[in-house]
Amino acid sequence: MTLKGKQNHYNVKFLKGYGHSISVKDSKIVLKDNHDPFSEGTTEEWFVKNMPYEKLVVSGNGYIIFAALKSLAQNNRNVILTDTSGHPICLMNGLMDSLTGTKYCIGQYDTFRDESKRKYLEKQITKTKIQSMLNS
C-alpha cells in the first residue's frame, strides 16, 4: 500500500473495498480504488508500460475487465486476487510466449539431464560460493 507523498519500494498497488475496478480507457489502464461505498474513490490512469506498479493486489467486491488483464499480462504485470481477509485466492501472470525464451528453458533442462555438465556446474557454483564467503 502506498502512503500519500511516499514512493512504494515494493511497486504494489492495493485495491480494496466495494466497487474497485481495473479497466481500460483510451489504451490506458484505469485503476479505481474505493475503500467504502459512501466516499468518492480515487482513480489512476496509466499506459501499461509507464505504470509504476509491478503487482496489483485486489481484495473485496469489484470488477476487472478482460482487456485490462490481457494488457497487464502482456506487459509482465501480476494481478493477485485475495478474499476479504487477505488470503490469496488467485495469482495471474503472463505466459512466456517467445520462442527464444522457450528454447533457453529447454536448453537448461537438457543441461541438467547430462550428468557430466551437471557435476561441472555444481563444482563451479560451490567454488564461487566459497570464494564469495572468503572475500567477505
The reported pLDDT for the residue numbered 118 is: 87
Residue 27's SS3 state is coil
pLDDT at 9 over 70: no
Q: Which three cell numbers stand for residue 73?
A: 499480462
Q: What is the pLDDT of residues 54-101, one digit of tens each?
A: 899 998 888 899 999 999 988 889 999 998 888 899 988 877 666 666
Q: State which amino acid sits at residue 13.
A: K
The reported pLDDT for the residue numbered 68 is: 94
Of 19 and 51, the structure prediction assigns the larger pLDDT to 51
pLDDT at 33 over 90: no
Please state, rounded to an integer, the average pLDDT across all residues of the chain.
84
CA angle 103, 107, 109 (to 5 degrees): 120
Q: For the chain, give the longest Cα–Cα distance.
A: 66
| Spatial distance between the Cα atoms of 107 and 26, rounded to a whole number of angstroms | 41
Q: Which residues, in sequence order, are bridge partners of residue 94? A: none
List of residues 6+ apart from 64 with CB closer than 8 A: 21, 22, 23, 58, 79
